[in-house]
Amino acid sequence: MEPEHRYRFISYSLFLASTFLILFVLDRFFGFHYAPDEHRLNQKPKVESSVKSHGETAEPAIKPETIPEDQPEFESPTGDAEKEAKETSEVQSSSKSNFFQTLKANYQAEVLSQLPPNKARTDIVIRYYQHAPDGNSAYALQKLGFYIHERPVDPELANYQSNAIYFGENVKLEDIQIVGLTLLSEGLPVKLIKPSRFGDSWKSNSIEIGTDTTLINQPTLTFSEIENLAI
């Protein structure tokens, strides 16, 4: 190779080497490269939940069920419910000596006097879920001519005291009041009096007495509240 051509080749090679060296240095100090964001890669796509927070959980649709005749109105005990100690009902002497006594006198004249001796009423039935803590309190209604139809009690409710009354649509207000006031006088903590779920059908002539554990911490009705009861 001629000296002139050799010189050009060497110069060209040095030029290329210098150029690559300069580009390499510039890339090291000023260049940018892509680094994968591990946090972003590891983060799963956010899926909108159909469940609301703060207790508002979505519930599946509940199919209606046929309730057998033996099923009572009363609630079953919850896990946190404590067994109810027998309460001493509030007795207001003024109400008892006035309204209640007048109510019983009218009942004696209009209802009991019309019954054959030793016969119970046939127009109303008392459906009673007997609980051991009640003692014989509910049976005071037999002296008023009511027929008591005893119903079996769920074992989980056996140690709870009766505290609720449900009535059918054919039951008169006076009958509801005399039952409620009698039970209250006998020491039962009546905390609720309301229409039966089946009051327009097969329980239309019934007064039902039993236990609702959701009422345990509720106050007992007073004589005045039963006196002013509206249905």
Tens digits of residue pLDDT in 183-224: 999 999 999 999 999 888 999 999 999 999 999 999 999 999
Of all residues in the chain, what percent carry a pLDDT higher than 70?
62
Instruction: Output the pLDDT for position 70.
Output: 56
Instruction: Output the pLDDT for position 165.
Output: 98
pLDDT band (50, 70, 90) for residue 88: very low
Length in residues, the chain: 231
Instruction: Output the pLDDT for position 11.
Output: 72
Q: Would you tell me how many other CB atoms lie within 10 Å of the CB of residue 36?
A: 7
pTM, 2 dp: 0.61
Residue with tokens 């509206």: 230
Ranked by mean pLDDT, the top range of 34-38, 44-48, 72-76, 88-92 is 72-76
Q: What is the mean pLDDT of the segment spanning 144-163?
A: 94
pLDDT band (50, 70, 90) for residue 25: low
CA distance 59 to 170: 37
Tens digits of residue pLDDT in 40-74: 434 444 434 333 332 333 333 323 333 344 556 65
Instruction: Output the pLDDT for position 231.
Output: 82
Q: Parallel, antiparallel, or unpaired for β 164-167 and 147-151?
A: unpaired
Instruction: Output the pLDDT for position 209.
Output: 97
Instruction: Output the pLDDT for position 10.
Output: 74
pLDDT band (50, 70, 90) for residue 140: very high
Measured CA to CA in angstroms, residue 203 lies from 23, 28, 127, 144 at distances of 97, 91, 9, 20
Range list of β-strands (E), the chain? 125-129, 147-151, 164-167, 192-195, 206-210
Q: 179 CB contacts (<8 Å, ≥6 apart)? A: 126, 141, 146, 165, 207, 209
Burial (CB count <10 Å: 0-12, 13-18, 19+), residue 226? buried
CA distance 221 to 191: 5
Q: Which one is predicted more confidently, 18 or 168? A: 168
Taking 80 as the threshold, does the pLDDT of residue 97 lie above it? no
Put residue 92 in one of left, alpha, beta given phi > 0 → left and psi -120 to 50 → alpha: beta
Measured CA to CA in angstroms, residue 76 lies from 150, 174, 176, 181 at distances of 18, 29, 24, 25
Tens digits of residue pLDDT in 105-121: 999 999 999 999 999 99
